[in-house]
Amino acid sequence: MVRSNTTFRYTKSGAEGLLKNKKAYVIITSGVTKKDSDIDFFSEYIRHILGFIGIKDLTFIDSSGIGHNETKVLSLANKAIMAILNRTNQIKSNEYKGYLLL
């Protein structure tokens, strides 16, 4: 993902991300570590890495804590994905069968 002269380049003023004006949807899943908890290192790490290559517009889909309540967590993640797809006109509501692709 971080590749010199592909996703970033070095200039006289430092590194420059080459993937500007792009949007990323990041699905986070874990057994028990909740997003934005004291022990969640992944969210800030991925925000930093994507920012380094120029992607600043991030939407996190949180399916963390799946070990506590799998059904509820997956249901909420599915709803979040469906809302994104509907907003971006990628899929019609009646075509979505409830599958969560990770």
pLDDT in tens, the chain (102 residues): 899 999 999 999 999 999 999 988 888 888 888 888 898 899 999 999 999 999 999 989 888 888 888 888 888 888 888 888 887 765 554 444 443 333
What does DSSP assign to residue 97?
Answer: -
Q: Name the token pair of 19.
A: 């993937």
- On the CB side of 19, CA atoms within 13 Å amount to 20
* Domain ranges (residues) in the chain: 8-95
CATH superfamily of 8-95: Flavodoxin domain (3.40.50.360)
Q: Is residue 62 within 8 Å of residue 35, measured between CB atoms?
A: yes
